[in-house]
Structure 1
């Protein structure tokens, strides 16, 4: 029974690896520009990868819960969980943002002059995610709440972007096709992951309303916003989570 939580964690990693394949598996077509032919990767969003990140987040939630219920928590399980998270909630979002940047530059007239330097900032997300996870494993202050935004929250936020592009609630897709908005998002996410800012954990330790009202408020806001905002609910709830943590900082 002690391997059950590890198996669930590996399911998280499997979903992350499969999501990477989905991001990479994009059709290519030939285009002619100034008499030269170029091979261009289709800039269409990676919808299946988004679904796999959500599924991985479910596995990530249940592996820790299962370990506590079976009383089989172990240092190996903690390390394995971080290794899985850095792939699913670090590498995959980085690759999604890379694709989004390519798509944004693809809309510009000088698309053929875009170099790797323009797209490389997207890869800062997995770097900062890895640093945040390594720090989490060593930081004894983060037993109940977090310091810095947890990587699953970042992964779910970025995974919502392709779906927002697809369904375009409130015409938000245009913002995700702006390179400067994407650069700003990358910078903000990298900072929030490693910032010394106490962040709420969604774990409910007791039934006290006084101790849990910020978590309950977040749940209520999520349920109310889903029918109104559609997939834009994810960035809305992410912003609410950060603001709520700043206004009502949890004890660490």
Structure 2
């Protein structure tokens, strides 16, 4: 029984590895222009990477919950959870942003190849995610709420981008084709992960409405936005979560 949470954590890691495979697998087809062959990435497999990030998020949610229910929390489980998270919600989002950024460059007129130097900023996401998780493991102030954006939230946000681009219900996909918007997203996400900003935890310790008002508001936004905005609801929920954390900051206990 005590290994069940670890099995769920490993399932999270497995999903992260599968997502990496789908990002890497995205095949490239050749197109000819003025007698020169250029490669064009087929983005379809990246959508499956998004699906596996969501599955990783489900396993990440339940491993801690099951560990608390069975009262089998352990230092090994805590470290294993962080190792899985840095893959599923750090490396994978970085690779997805790498692909999106490359596609954005390739859509520009007269550009048929792009330097990896221009794409390298996407890899800052896994670097900052790793630092954020290492910091979280040692920071005793984050037992009740978070300081800085949790990596699963970053992973799920980035995972929504390929799906938003595929099901462009509100004609916003072109914004993800703007390289400067992508660079700005990378910068903001990296900052939020390591910033000393108290963030709301969705753990309900008590049922008092006043203490849980920010959590109830987040849940209400989730319930309302998903049926209306579909995949676009994810960035809306993310932005709302950040705003609520700033406007109604949770109390952080001193170490």
Residue 119 of structure 1: how far off its partner (Å) = 0.6
User: 1:142 corresponds to which residue?
Assistant: 142
Change (3 A) 1:4 1:188: same
User: 1:205 corresponds to which residue?
Assistant: 205
Residue 43 of structure 1: how far off its partner (Å) = 4.2
- Matches of 2:143 and 2:169, distance apart in 1: 37
- Matches of 1:92 and 1:68, distance apart in 2: 28
Task: Work out the number of aligned pairs and report it.
Answer: 252
User: Runs ≥4 in structure 1, deviation > 4 angstroms?
Assistant: none
After superposition, give the CA deviation of every residue in 1:111-136 in whole Å (9 maximum; x if it has no partner): 22420011111000000000000000
CA contact (8 A) 1:43 1:102 kept: no
User: 2:89 corresponds to which residue?
Assistant: 89
SS in 2 for 1:210: coil
Larger helix percent: 1
SS in 1 for 2:171: helix
- Whether 1:75 and 2:75 are equivalent positions in the alignment is yes
- Matches of 1:104 and 1:56, distance apart in 2: 27
- Matches of 2:151 and 2:78, distance apart in 1: 14
CA contact (8 A) 1:16 1:92 kept: yes
User: 2:124 corresponds to which residue?
Assistant: 124
- Matches of 1:162 and 1:25, distance apart in 2: 15
CA contact (8 A) 2:200 2:249 kept: yes
Once the two structures are superposed, the pairs formed by residues 100-249 of structure 1 within 5 Å of their partners are: 100-249=100-249
CA contact (8 A) 1:45 1:99 kept: no
CA contact (8 A) 2:105 2:179 kept: yes
After superposition, give the CA deviation of every residue in 1:8-63 in whole Å (9 maximum; x if it has no partner): 00000000000000111112211223432233332457111111111110100110
SS in 1 for 2:55: helix
SS in 2 for 1:46: helix
CA contact (8 A) 2:11 2:56 kept: yes
> Which deviates the most, 227-236 or 239-248?
227-236
SS in 1 for 2:204: coil
TM-score where L is the length of structure 1: 0.97
> Which deviates the most, 71-80 or 112-121?
112-121
Q: Which runs of 5+ in 1 are unaligned?
A: none
Q: RMSD of the alignment, in Å?
A: 1.1
